[in-house]
Structure 1
């Protein structure tokens, strides 16, 4: 069963890589791929652990795409009509209230809880409260799209080195646990489009991302992760 589902996801990835700039979101292909994520998560999350890797492992890095016309996409006009969402980590008086929304990414997390003798699944759109930040550390571009509350956070990171990238969900809280494990991820597909191949501090970054994965957090708990949408940020020197 698991081999069949992974093969199907692989075929979807190959097809999506062959698509041109004509259509980013909303295709029947992506609808099918998103269904596959939930199916894999619910049926095979435990057996997929073997394939999980941390973000710095080279197994799942892929080649990014470049589209210099990305800033002209109409989605950014829609984002201009909405005020930015600021995280709980940003101090009062340190934020620019005139800033416009940086992320239009929908990011759904499907989690599983066991009670009343059976599994129960819930899905949340983390993207509805997320913002986008980007900075350069050494030779790596780090893009972070998520929500921080001051007591924890959820979202995903994109690491770009040269023309290669990887997507990596994240989750953290303020609970100290000596049994915490290193988080790892099993990407089922991922696609990244940026408006430039290289950036410097102060540059404006525009991008589109789509990915599906099964993510295992620091407690070893699995979740289905699906995200797609456009984002933007001003490149900074550090994560602030």
Structure 2
């Protein structure tokens, strides 16, 4: 998403995998009709398509690296999905500014998932400890159980995580809302 010079600042403590709900009727939710009325939000380095419709209605809040104190800012993200290591579907909901990015990734495999917030930057500080994320709760609903490249994907996420940074500083991350994308075809 951002580039090869990026340092990924994310580490989950003993990743928590939970069962995903499967709801084939999720596509009928009014939220997707509302997304059709909005243009896509693009990261700085993404190829922009002027007819693209919004892929994410997710509100993502975090305190610390970025101040997203109102819901308009919290909606400035988009959604993409691709297969990672062959069989894990990685759903990325976030945004990049050319120097880094932030958001969260939903890893999905065999009807189970985990959620990982991330913060990326091109600034690398030697010896800086990576934050650890503890999931407080996570709920995911998808429109079907299995996906292949080229498939449309519709879903809803609701999660809360606590980031434990240096000096045991705690920062809350939360995301809630509907998203859609097409699974990348390599």
Q: Please say whether Structure 1 and Structure 2 have the same fold, judged by a TM-score greater than 0.5.
A: yes
Q: Which has the higher strand share?
A: 2
The offset of 1:132, in angstroms, is: 0.3
Match of residue 156, structure 1, among 94, 104, 113? 104
Match of residue 63, structure 1, among 1, 5, 19? 19
The offset of 1:176, in angstroms, is: 1.7
Structure 1 residues 217 and 162, CA gap change in structure 2 (3 angstroms)? farther
**What's 1:127 paired with?**
74
Separation (CA, whole Å) in 1 of partners of 2:75 and 2:159 = 17
Secondary structure in structure 1 of the residue aligned to 2:63? strand
Tell me the number of residue pairs that the alignment of Structure 1 and Structure 2 aligns: 173
The offset of 1:219, in angstroms, is: 9.7
**What's 2:117 paired with?**
169
Q: Rg larger in 1 or in 2?
A: 1
Secondary structure in structure 2 of the residue aligned to 1:129? coil
Please say which of residues 212-221 and 147-156 is displaced more in the overlay: 212-221
RMSD of equivalent CA atoms: 2.3
TM-score by structure 2 length?
Answer: 0.84
**What's 1:144 paired with?**
92
The offset of 1:222, in angstroms, is: 3.5
**What's 1:181 paired with?**
129
Please say which of residues 165-174 and 175-184 is displaced more in the overlay: 175-184
TM-score by structure 1 length?
Answer: 0.66
Match of residue 105, structure 1, among 26, 49, 58? 58
Separation (CA, whole Å) in 2 of partners of 1:63 and 1:231 = 18
Structure 1 residues 217 and 153, CA gap change in structure 2 (3 angstroms)? farther
Match of residue 144, structure 2, among 196, 202, 206? 196
Q: Which has the higher helix share?
A: 1
CA displacement 1:32-67 (0-9 Å, x = unmatched): xxxxxxxxxxxxxxxxxxxxx944844x11111000
Separation (CA, whole Å) in 1 of partners of 2:44 and 2:101 = 10
Secondary structure in structure 1 of the residue aligned to 2:27? helix
Kept after mapping to 2: 8 A contact 1:171/1:217: no
Secondary structure in structure 2 of the residue aligned to 1:103? coil
Kept after mapping to 1: 8 A contact 2:141/2:155: yes
Structure of greater relative contact order (alpha carbons < 8 Å, 6+ residues apart): 2
In structure 1, stretches of 5+ residues that fail to align are: 1-52, 113-121
